[in-house]
Structure 1
Amino acid sequence: MKAVCVCFEVHLPLPLRWYWPQEGYGDVHIEKYFDMEKAFHNFTKLAENVETLNDTLAASIENGGKYTLDVSGVFLEQCKWSPEIIDGFRELDPGSVSFAASPYYHSVCSMFPDMTEFREQVEMDRGMIKELFGREARTFVNTELLFEKRALKVLKEMGFKCFISEGSHNIMNGYDPMHVYDNTVPTLLRHINLSEDLEIRFSDNAWPGYPLIADKFASWIASMEGDVITLYIKYDAINTHLQNNKEILRFLKELPLSLKEKGIEMVLAEDAVDMFKSTSLSSLDSKTTARYGMHNLLGNHAQHLFMHELVDTGEQIGSIKDPERRKEMLRIYRYLQQSEIFLEMNSEERRFGYERAVNDLSILSDIERAIIREAKR
């Protein structure tokens, strides 16, 4: 039997402000660097339809659907503005929905030289999932589906059963990811084309596959060779489709039935690694990858410089004597690890990317000044 794993990423970043240093470099606090008004606006736009999306998942589950949810700690913190969203996720059938862990701050800390920060953020996220949903996270999804071999040793030590990463061309050598892959932690790789059919192209009426209905999608999967197809889709992308094409709701409801007609089962990611024999993939021993390529995260000098300064800043935080000030500084530092900060510095509009880099490095400079001042107190 062939199977399909569907994982939704539920995340909204905390956006940086355009920062203008003032004489004297004042006190350090979240609102000084992060645009909370914009964050609230973005959250409100998504929250308007989350109840609809969760109701659709519940209907899909009644038809045999199973889903893995990768909900970031950053998003869960924003749910203070609409606590009922957490209740909606909590009410989904626990036998058909699992929660994956990831770095709490949707951060790139798995690329740091020292893996301590990575381990701490994963523990934070796993603890939050346990606290809010009463569930143990057995699947891990790294930020931006980043594949970093060093992280897998940590994940194995932490007891994770499954790892989901990007099925990029440099990993797959031109083939589609259709198996459970043998690794330090058994690995599922995102099928990029099928995932983006739902995430990006679904509402594009110029796309040859438009309109995409569940039966057509199930037929495509049935025609493929392999054991398991992994789809990884941003929840926010489904919300965007709702603005133009509410047929995405019908698609999600009918997908389990259409797959079942073709002899295909929807399964949770952690269950897939038990159902199928793992397949060897030699490139997993030597390659690194991320969603849309590593060059998007660390492809230019500005990104490398920001990464270097970020790591250096983290090493300095321990010198702050006041525990409350150290805790607040650590929180700000961790928000600065968000992958979106790196991605914006690699904007296709080179001027925008450059301006972002200057802005972000100015923020780090201010924080480093504050750490030095606090350490002397």
Structure 2
Amino acid sequence: MKSVCLFFQVHQPFRHRRYRFFDIGNDHYYYDDYSNETIMRKVAEKSYLPTNKLLLNLADKLEGKFKVSFSITGLALEQFDLYAPEVIDSFKDLSKTGCIEFLSETYSHSLSSLKDKHIFKKQVKLHDEHIFALFGHRPRVFRNTEMIYSDEIGAQIAEMGYQGILTEGAKHILGWKSPNFMYVNAINPRLKVLMRNFKLSDDISFRFSNKDWSEFPLTAEKFVGWLESLDAKEEVINIFLSYESFGERQPKESGIFDFFENLAKKIVESPELKFATPSEVIEELQPVSAVNVPHAISWADEERDLTAWLGNNMQKEAFDKLYELRKRVEKCKNEEIIKDWNYLQVSDHFYYMSTKYYSHGTKSNQFNPFDTPYEAFINYMNVLSDFKIRLNSVVPENEVENEIASLHKIIDEKEKKIKKMEADIQRLRKGRKRKS
């Protein structure tokens, strides 16, 4: 019997407002609260809430036979708390069914695994603590940002104590091999590797409502038929999607919710298929071989590489400039600076700078707040410049900046005293006028 491993990614970034050059050093608030709230409410109402409701009904009706896993970023959880707390409540209801597994991930949906092992580990720990605080669940399986994976990253994940990792079943990695088996990390075989069946996943996520697709319309019967017709030796079918595929990318009017409900029921009814969480797959199946991934892969684009985030000089410069600050941030105790540091690391900022998708004025996606990748780069670097000024004020880079920081502190203290004295003078003047 083949296992169907169903996984959803849930992520929303804190988007920056238009941050001008003249804001640097004068205004330390970087976020577009209106856009962040508007987008979160829209996606929650169209996707997260109705899909969670459907999953809760399926967990009840299918009596524990329906299984699904999630990786929810810390930034998404923070935005739920701010703008849509009912989404967190719905995930808590789902977690009580016993049909849900929460996976580990980086708190900020960051690219830190490519840059700094210590920061990466810290991000993952922060994420897992948040998941445990909300849902009482300690993740055992890891899913990196954008499914980024290499042999070296996998070895670190194994050292951190995780049993398995989810990544992309990239053609140039697997060659003639199938993604429908379980593999192990080439450096540390203790780490099990589950690889996404990108064709079947994308049939739902991207092609479902495409009327020009040769398989349109996609029905639950047709999809289950594809699963059942796979080679009898294949053991696990990994269907990994962004959660926004339901209700947002594929709107309700397309029939995506009815399709998914029927699909879940037919998989449970099938004598050849069953649902399983990643942890269950890892416990039940034996790996067939190691998978060699010397260079990092992802689930993005045809290339399945890192060029969506680090493919041009703007992206690389912003990425390098950000992480040049990492050692000083480690010494920082200021909570606001640490929060902004986490928000600056989100991979979306670098994705907005991509020139791969930009042609004739088109944006890379509908939630991109910038008209061009160049505008995204300038905006990010302005924010980063201000952030560096703030960081220098508490953790100076050198002796000169230490002196400057001390002078700034003296000036700030004097300004506060002047404002207090001005307020006292105004109060005394008002008191005299009343007496006269």
TM (norm. structure 2) is 0.80
Q: Deviations over 1:90-142 (max 9, x none)?
A: 11244211111100011111111x31111111111111111101112111110
Provide the rounded CA distance (Å) in 1 between the counterparts of 2:184 and 2:392.
46
Aligned positions of 1:139-150 closer than 5 A: 139-150=141-152
C-alpha contact 2:107 2:123 (8 A) present in aligned 1: yes
1:302 to 314, 318, 326: 314
C-alpha contact 2:24 2:386 (8 A) present in aligned 1: no
Provide the rounded CA distance (Å) in 2 between the counterparts of 1:331 and 1:255.
41
Q: Answer yes or no: is 1:102 the counterpart of 2:114.
A: no
Report SS of the residue matched to 2:21.
coil
C-alpha contact 2:209 2:216 (8 A) present in aligned 1: yes
Letter in 2 for 1:96: C
C-alpha contact 1:202 1:241 (8 A) present in aligned 2: no
Aligned positions of 1:36-185 closer than 5 A: 36-49=33-46, 50-61=48-59, 62-63=61-62, 64-80=65-81, 81-92=83-94, 93-112=96-115, 114-173=116-175, 175-183=177-185, 184=188, 185=191
2:386 to 356, 366, 371: 366
Segment of structure 1 superposing worse, 37-46 or 48-57: 48-57
State the shift of 1:23 in Å.
Answer: 6.5
1:211 to 210, 217, 239: 217
C-alpha contact 2:74 2:127 (8 A) present in aligned 1: yes
Report SS of the residue matched to 1:22.
helix
Report SS of the residue matched to 2:80.
helix
C-alpha contact 1:171 1:287 (8 A) present in aligned 2: no
RMSD of aligned residue pairs (Cα, Å): 1.9
C-alpha contact 1:218 1:262 (8 A) present in aligned 2: no
Q: Answer yes or no: is 1:356 the counterpart of 2:389.
A: no
- Structure 2: which 5+ runs fail to align? 362-371, 397-404, 407-436
* C-alpha distance 283-152 of structure 1, shift in aligned 2 (>3 A): closer
C-alpha contact 2:108 2:123 (8 A) present in aligned 1: yes
* C-alpha distance 105-24 of structure 1, shift in aligned 2 (>3 A): closer
Provide the rounded CA distance (Å) in 1 between the counterparts of 2:130 and 2:390.
30
Count of equivalent residues = 368
State the shift of 1:305 in Å.
Answer: 0.9
Provide the rounded CA distance (Å) in 2 between the counterparts of 1:254 and 1:23.
53
C-alpha contact 2:40 2:84 (8 A) present in aligned 1: no
Partner of 1:330: 338
Highest RCO, 1 vs 2 (Cα 8 Å, sep ≥ 6): 1
* C-alpha distance 211-312 of structure 1, shift in aligned 2 (>3 A): same
Report SS of the residue matched to 2:295.
coil
Letter in 2 for 1:85: V
Q: Deviations over 1:64-93 (max 9, x none)?
A: 321001111111101122222111111124
Letter in 1 for 2:274: E
C-alpha contact 1:202 1:212 (8 A) present in aligned 2: yes
Q: Deviations over 1:297-344 (max 9, x none)?
A: 211111111111011122232455xx3xx2211211111111111111
Letter in 1 for 2:193: T
User: Which protein is bigger by CA-based radius of gyration?
Assistant: 2
Aligned positions of 1:222-301 closer than 5 A: 222-225=228-231, 226-241=234-249, 243-245=251-253, 247-259=255-267, 260-284=269-293, 286-292=294-300, 293-301=305-313
C-alpha contact 1:66 1:267 (8 A) present in aligned 2: yes
TM (norm. structure 1) is 0.92
State the shift of 1:366 in Å.
Answer: 2.0
- Structure 1: which 5+ runs fail to align? none
2:329 to 317, 326, 343: 317
